[in-house]
Structure 1
Amino acid sequence: MLKRLAVVAGSALALCLGSVPLAFADETLSTGPFDYTNNFITPFEPGAFTTESHRSLLLSPLGRTGRIDCHTFHGTTFKCTQTLSDGTVFILDQVSPYGLRSTWISHPGPSFAS
């Protein structure tokens, strides 16, 4: 009887462990960086507060010049940078509280963050 219980418990454990997906094998959990340029809009662009209000606001003297790269994980965007064509990188900081429209500002000087 004890032997049968051990076999059943071992089989159940093997079945459970064999069916658990491995998180590191899931490529969708990659954090980037990804090109997010089209996910941003400046307050002065048409539709910024109407038809395009689903896009993140970008408060930057550069506007949407250059490429904007962001990391993302489980629907949360973070660690964004704006790279100009000459390779200058500006860090973007999110200034809006959680739950409100995402608003980002650029640092006044270039940074060399990666």
Structure 2
Amino acid sequence: MLKRILAGAGLTIGVTVLAAPTASAAPDDNPFGPKDSTASFVSAFDPAAYGSASNKSLIISPFGTSEQIDCSSFHGQSWCTQNGQSLSAIRIPAGSSEWDYRVLYVYNPF
């Protein structure tokens, strides 16, 4: 009788161990950032910024767009950095609506 109980317990433990899902780490993707957003920027001194690239955000930085620009966003608030330094955002009106604007980011070395 004791052998049957021990065999049943061993079988139950064995099945539980084999059927249990393996642990997995949480994904590294933070949905709020920071994410590489360099492709969404154009230098304010680039003539394309006022033509073919007029849908991109402007940047004034000693690095232009040659260095990665990382942006984060949470609850409708966004912020960007380049080389670990913050970029100050300035909204420039681009139309007659409050929501029609273009953002100019300025590198802040301080």
3-state SS of paired residue (1:48): helix
* Match of residue 81 from structure 2: 81
CA-CA distance at 1:65 after TM superposition: 2.6
* Match of residue 56 from structure 2: 55
* Match of residue 94 from structure 1: 89
Contact persistence 1:70–1:77 (CA under 8 A): no
Contact persistence 1:56–1:103 (CA under 8 A): yes
Residues 80 and 107 of structure 1: is their aligned pair in 2 closer, same or farther, counting only changes over 3 Å?
same
Give the distance between the partners of 1:96 and 1:71, measured in 2 at CA: 17
CA-CA distance at 1:73 after TM superposition: 4.4
RMSD after superposition = 2.5
Give the distance between the partners of 1:53 and 1:42, measured in 2 at CA: 11
| Count of aligned pairs | 76
* Match of residue 109 from structure 2: 108
Residues 77 and 66 of structure 1: is their aligned pair in 2 closer, same or farther, counting only changes over 3 Å?
farther
Structure 1 residue runs of 4+, over 3 Å off?
none
Where structure 2 has 5 or more consecutive residues not aligned to the other structure, the ranges are: 1-29, 93-98
Where structure 1 has 5 or more consecutive residues not aligned to the other structure, the ranges are: 1-28, 84-88, 110-114
Q: What TM-score do the two structures reach when normalised by structure 1? A: 0.56
Give the distance between the partners of 1:77 and 1:71, measured in 2 at CA: 8
CA-CA distance at 1:79 after TM superposition: 1.8
Structure number with higher strand proportion:
2
Contact persistence 1:30–1:73 (CA under 8 A): no
CA-CA distance at 1:108 after TM superposition: 2.9
CA-CA distance at 1:35 after TM superposition: 0.5
